[in-house]
Structure 1
């Protein structure tokens, strides 16, 4: 499996460790989260395998090229538009979540407008990069920050403040029926393969996932998901984190480096995840703007010889992001993400897989040699 495909999936998994995911899982800890995690591992890997396998039939093509070539226009255009909105919303929710984290834990005196504007300036530069450049950027940032994240997690596992009794209590809830909210929330973080809707343009020889590749992904996903849920429990207790907005931030703040240059590990931890969040949002908005431009592209909207369609969409992203970050509350954001995970995510996955299935049938009818 191509290393960039691994980064595409793993960065998505890692980014949501400190966002709203832990809060949802912990909130439902007594209502079936543990069995939901194991079901999510299976479902997440099955969906990942299906998505990669479907895209392997169309090497070097993004979803716009696939649907426009092999499905009717009346079907392709609405699907592409819907997906552009979905990817924009996912990026926006990630942006606002990390804006709140910065405003709450790092820069409480700074205006939220300044934080959001700084974010979108960096991200806007990224979304106009080529797919290849985004992959190289993601590789560099991933390789830089992953040692810091692993260091914090390993230090947490060996911390004297980690109470294994709390984790045992959480594990004892395995006899509960699975919880749908926990299941969809946990499954969402494994959906990095869906980014192939645009990034498949880079993979000219994409193959079906191998057994070794899927085994590694399953191992990584299991570690990330179980760590996301159980480690905060070990520090905060089974019944004490229900009202915590960001359980992982509190967990990292419980760890100290007595002889380190920076005693409070939380600053290193947040910094590492901020870097990952920038990569994730860049990818998501790059996908959104590419999907949107495949539906609406104004050929005459030019300044000199430069077409202004993409800059116009980016400006719309700016305006809505700043407005939304100022008007939405933490609780409203959480409820919105919760609704997305429970309702929009299953619909999106179904539409994506269904669209690729229809496109494969269309390709087979046009060229029988492609049918396998």
Structure 2
């Protein structure tokens, strides 16, 4: 079962390309992005280890279940609503950013809301399924797309057109103090552990997540490649001129495999699956947080048939996506992305502190019950 946890780690590390993480780091390449990445490797690994260890102390329980059982009702309700807001916004940002990318590189004259409609419809259908179905669908989609995406990343690293001098110049700024925004952006690559907030329900009692050294290994690779490869292709100065950095970078590569020549087309096709996977997971998680706000909430990871409430909540998410698309533009979207990255970082650290407190509270409660349970047979 622990393999499903690593699926989340890998797809979140890959999806950072679509969330303006490389763009944010590139904007700070001379004023702290490199040192921020170095700190993010340590900080992200520590938070990932701590979060997974804490969730394993609550087997078959999601974060909403833990909060509802151990915190006052008003406090649990507040945290659930705040968490759902972050998860909803994550799905909206990925769907909007990817839809805008498709329009720019495939057909600039296309109606901007047409592909957005297709993406939101697929996201609504996927996110409304039960938790176990979402996990199985994620496994299939990731096993199909991840190997090809990783192959493209390795092709980029070993590309003869990659300018290693530009990479060395940028890496020389590692002694520059990190900027806060770039640190928040860099730590997102390690954030796959956050999906345990709901999918921890599917981990049975006694589950051990082994080989957690995979987290810093894979995520550090994704982080370094997503930042340094565009610089190697476009130069230390020219790289800042692009908004969709990795789409332009993919279009700078070619393949000689039959009819496949431009890497951009297969790259965007693969990221269609990855973006839908991300939207499905984030909206499903947000839906579970919202459902946990109901007084008579009963968690069920295998609910069938799909309840109407699932459809209604996710259709609401789709409506919010269209409202965001109408309101935003490129500049506003960049600011919202940076705001979300900062808010997510604070949320991750707060979750570690909160879960540590709840573990201590649970341990203390169990110890206080042991004497009374032991004295019962004697009486």
In the superposition, the TM-score normalised over structure 2's length comes to: 0.90
CA distance in 2, matches of 1:64, 1:111: 39
Taking the TM superposition and a 5 Å limit, the aligned residue runs for 1:190-205 are 190-205=190-205
CA distance in 2, matches of 1:227, 1:80: 35
| Post-superposition CA distance 1:195-226 (Å, at most 9, x none) | 1111110111365654xx22221110111000
SS in 2 for 1:226: helix
SS in 1 for 2:59: coil
Aligned position for 2:265: 267
SS in 1 for 2:237: coil
Aligned position for 1:257: 255
Change in Cα spacing, 1:144 to 1:4, as seen in structure 2 (3 Å) is same
Aligned residues: 363
CA distance in 2, matches of 1:297, 1:231: 50
Aligned position for 2:362: 363
Change in Cα spacing, 1:2 to 1:208, as seen in structure 2 (3 Å) is closer
Give yes or no for contact 2:157–2:225 (8 Å, CA) kept in 1. Answer: no
1:354 has 2:359 as partner: no
* CA deviation after TM superposition for structure 1 residue 245, in Å: 0.4
Change in Cα spacing, 1:144 to 1:41, as seen in structure 2 (3 Å) is same
Q: CA RMSD in A?
A: 2.1
Taking the TM superposition and a 5 Å limit, the aligned residue runs for 1:287-326 are 287-296=285-294, 308-326=308-326
Change in Cα spacing, 1:145 to 1:306, as seen in structure 2 (3 Å) is closer
Unpaired runs of at least 5, structure 2: 298-304, 371-379
SS in 2 for 1:190: helix
* CA deviation after TM superposition for structure 1 residue 307, in Å: 5.6
CA distance in 2, matches of 1:297, 1:250: 49
Give yes or no for contact 2:32–2:174 (8 Å, CA) kept in 1. Answer: yes
Change in Cα spacing, 1:332 to 1:128, as seen in structure 2 (3 Å) is same
| Post-superposition CA distance 1:162-201 (Å, at most 9, x none) | 1111111111112211222111101012111111111110
CA distance in 2, matches of 1:369, 1:149: 52
Aligned position for 2:300: none
Aligned position for 1:302: none
Change in Cα spacing, 1:7 to 1:332, as seen in structure 2 (3 Å) is same
Give yes or no for contact 2:16–2:188 (8 Å, CA) kept in 1. Answer: no
Aligned position for 2:118: 118
CA distance in 2, matches of 1:341, 1:363: 31
Q: Structure 1: which 4+ aligned runs deviate by more than 6 Å?
A: none
Aligned position for 1:64: 64
Give yes or no for contact 1:113–1:326 (8 Å, CA) kept in 2. Answer: no
Bigger drift between 252-261 and 78-87 goes to 252-261
CA distance in 1, matches of 2:100, 2:217: 31
| Post-superposition CA distance 1:141-180 (Å, at most 9, x none) | 1111122212222222232211111111111112211222
Give yes or no for contact 1:145–1:272 (8 Å, CA) kept in 2. Answer: yes
CA distance in 2, matches of 1:188, 1:151: 22
Give yes or no for contact 1:64–1:80 (8 Å, CA) kept in 2. Answer: yes
CA distance in 1, matches of 2:139, 2:307: 30
Change in Cα spacing, 1:41 to 1:298, as seen in structure 2 (3 Å) is same
Aligned position for 1:242: 240
Aligned position for 1:81: 81
SS in 2 for 1:263: strand
Change in Cα spacing, 1:311 to 1:297, as seen in structure 2 (3 Å) is farther
Taking the TM superposition and a 5 Å limit, the aligned residue runs for 1:172-211 are 172-205=172-205, 207=207, 209-210=209-210
Bigger drift between 23-32 and 101-110 goes to 101-110
SS in 1 for 2:254: coil
In the superposition, the TM-score normalised over structure 1's length comes to: 0.92
